[in-house]
């Protein structure tokens, strides 16, 4: 253990960390070095600077859009607004998107974008000007479009920003019937899909639930199968963290710790996620929640006893300096890159199961795919078959009641006759995707003795991308 910790002092970039994981997995694939180098490389990197008038002054804004892979089109990836945005980070996130899409069988190449700003510093009007200018720059260079590159929300952005982008794109591409499909994560009124907001957090829940349902794997960790009763700590209460916490709590898990930028709280008896959120609304902080222990440094919360730890904020929060103190038996990477490769080694040596980000937080891109399909088809999911299904269920129920002479209750009747709404179909598609992809990764892990889940996931992704390149005939 000391040797592993000593190695942790080396510093490397986020993108170098992704490449390191890629190289670790690539030796388990059959592809020659040239194909592997092509898969690993970022195909297109667009770094831009543009002026925007803010108040009485003109600010020069730095922004990026990276298309990592064109083995499938369009490319897909979010846009984040943060002062931490830089080329290395955007390249790393774009490459992870390629592998993420491959793992969950979403036919996109990976991309990512970012604007180096602090969104809290600007008014809504100023943010709109920055966003629309960024979108127009992407249009100029053909870095956005339904069949080219489809952005989505990420850290610091949401449906509002996506609405500005789609409106800008449509105004610059008059008559393009599929303009709404140029971005995903839009409000439902602007062509968004129901279920997109909670998709990543729900996907995190589905993925961890599937792991916990495998009795053999739980026995190795000294845990009982199932989610119910598992002690969970969640770092980050943004969109992903909140919804992950909500679904775990609603399904019987015990939320024992929560952390945010102002600090963290811990209570081994369990926290009511809804009451914590209300407490934060009333006081401006999760700290001083009744019955909970406060941590002024939110990162300390992650080191408390639990079964499952969900880092759901930014990258590199678990690294060589704190990994040895983590007490969780399962770590689910809801954020992008929350563990450094050194942390992987330290925790792996302790027998901790790490469910990698490139699989676990793929719920967002999966449901974005559904939204993209909805925009291209120009019809809401469920519109064509909801009433037909309800009528068919009614006919079957009527026949059963006639044969048995028994009538169901009104509550049972409502449940039995319910035809699928759009959100039902989205949840169903996401659940099926996360379950199927988990077992695909697990089978790869079992077939490669001694390989962890991250390496298995990379191996699965590399194989899929490599096969796509071969089928395209790019390498004669």
Question: C-alpha angle 388/389/395, rounded to 5°?
Answer: 90
Distances in Å between the alpha carbon of 178 and those of 67, 151, 173, 298, 430?
21, 15, 10, 44, 24
112, 254, 374, 464: which is the annotated catalytic residue? 112
Is the peptide bond between 74 and the residue preceding it cis, with omega within 30 degrees of 0? Answer: yes
List the Cα angle 362/367/172 in 5-degree steps.
110
Closest CA to 363 of 206, 468, 235, 132: 206
b/e for 143-166, b at 16 or more Cβ within 10 A?
Answer: bbbbebbbbbbbbbbebbbbbbbb
pLDDT computed for residue 474 by the predictor: 59
pLDDT tens sequence for the chain (476 residues) = 433 333 444 455 888 888 888 998 999 998 888 889 999 999 999 999 999 999 999 999 999 999 999 999 999 999 999 999 999 999 999 999 999 999 999 999 999 999 999 999 999 999 999 999 999 999 999 999 999 999 999 888 999 999 999 999 999 999 999 999 999 999 999 999 998 889 999 999 999 999 999 999 999 999 999 999 999 999 998 889 999 999 999 999 999 999 998 899 999 999 999 999 999 999 989 999 998 888 888 888 998 999 999 999 877 888 888 888 999 999 999 988 898 888 888 998 899 999 999 999 999 999 999 999 999 999 887 778 888 787 887 888 888 878 888 888 888 888 888 878 888 899 999 999 999 999 999 999 999 888 889 999 999 999 999 988 877 765 54
User: Distance between CA 301 and CA 25 in Å, rounded?
Assistant: 32
Active site residue 112: yes
Q: What is the DSSP annotation of 395-433?
A: HHHHHHHHHH-----HHHHHHHTPPPPHHHHHHHHHHHH
Q: What is the pLDDT of residue 1?
A: 41
How far apart are alpha carbons 169 and 421 in whole angstroms?
A: 30
What pLDDT score was predicted for residue 383? 79
Task: Tell me what pLDDT residue 8 has.
Answer: 40
Percent of residues in the chain assigned helix, strand, coil, to nearest 5? 50, 15, 35
**Beta bridge pairs of residue 150:** 76
DSSP SS3 for 141: coil
C-alpha torsion sign, points 94, 100, 101, 102: positive
Q: What is the pLDDT of residue 385?
A: 82
pLDDT for 12 equals: 58
- Picking from 207, 244, 213, 208, the residue whose alpha carbon sits closest to that of residue 226 is 213
pTM of the complete model: 0.88
Structure tokens at 105: 């069988």
12, 44, 156, 171, 417 from 113: Cα distances, Å: 21, 12, 12, 21, 44
Domains and CATH numbers, the chain: 44-192 (3.40.50.10860), 195-381+429-476 (3.40.50.720)
């Amino acid at each position: 253990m000391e040797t592993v910790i000593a190695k942790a002092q080396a510093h490397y970039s986020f993108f170098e960390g992704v490449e390191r994981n890629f190289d670790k997995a690539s030796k388990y694939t059959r592809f020659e070095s040239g194909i592997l180098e092509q898969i690993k490389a970022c195909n297109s990197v667009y770094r831009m600077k543009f002026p925007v008038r803010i108040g009485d002054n003109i600010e020069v804004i730095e922004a990026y859009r990276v298309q990592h892979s064109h083995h499938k089109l369009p490319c897909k990836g979010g846009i984040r607004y943060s002062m931490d945005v830089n080329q290395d980070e955007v390249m790393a996130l774009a490459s992870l998107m390629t592998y993420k899409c491959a793992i969950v069988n979403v036919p996109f190449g990976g991309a990512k974008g970012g604007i180096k700003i602090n969104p809290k510093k600007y008014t809504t009007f100023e943010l709109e000007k920055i966003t629309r200018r960024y979108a127009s720059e992407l249009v100029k260079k053909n870095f956005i479009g339904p069949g080219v590159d489809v952005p989505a929300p990420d850290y610091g952005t949401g449906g509002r920003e996506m609405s500005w982008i789609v409106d800008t794109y449509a105004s610059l591409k008059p008559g393009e019937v599929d303009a709404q499909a140029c971005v995903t994560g839009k409000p439902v009124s602007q062509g968004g899909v129901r279920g997109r907001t909670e998709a990543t957090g729900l996907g995190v829940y589905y993925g961890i639930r599937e792991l916990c349902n495998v009795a053999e794997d739980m026995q190795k960790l000294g845990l009982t199968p199932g989610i119910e009763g598992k002690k969970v700590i969640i770092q980050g209460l943004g969109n992903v963290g909140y919804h992950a916490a909500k679904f775990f709590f609603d399904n019987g898990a015990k939320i024992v710790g929560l952390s945010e930028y102002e600090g963290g709280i811990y209570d081994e008896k369990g926290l009511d996620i809804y009451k914590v959120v209300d407490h934060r609304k009333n006081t401006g902080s999760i700290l001083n929640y009744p019955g909970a222990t406060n941590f002024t440094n939110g990162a300390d919360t992650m080191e408390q006893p639990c079964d499952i730890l969900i880092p759901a904020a930014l990258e590199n929060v678990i690294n060589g300096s704190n990994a040895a103190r983590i007490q969780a038996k399962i770590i689910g990477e809801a954020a992008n890159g929350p563990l450094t490769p050194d942390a992987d080694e330290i925790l792996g040596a302790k027998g901790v199961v790490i469910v990698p980000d490139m699989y676990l937080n793929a719920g967002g891109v999966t449901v974005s795919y559904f939204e993209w399909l909805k925009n291209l088809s120009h019809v809401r999911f469920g519109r064509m078959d909801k009433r037909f299904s309800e009528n068919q269920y009614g006919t079957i129920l009527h026949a059963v009641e006639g044969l048995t002479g028994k009538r169901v209750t009104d509550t049972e009747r409502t449940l039995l006759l319910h035809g699928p709404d759009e959100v039902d179909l989205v949840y169903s598609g996401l659940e099926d995707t996360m379950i199927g992809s988990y077992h695909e990764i697990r089978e790869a892990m079992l077939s490669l003795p001694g390989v962890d889940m991250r390496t298995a996931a990379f191996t699965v992704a590399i194989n899929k991308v490599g096969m796509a390149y071969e089928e395209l005939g790019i390498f004669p």
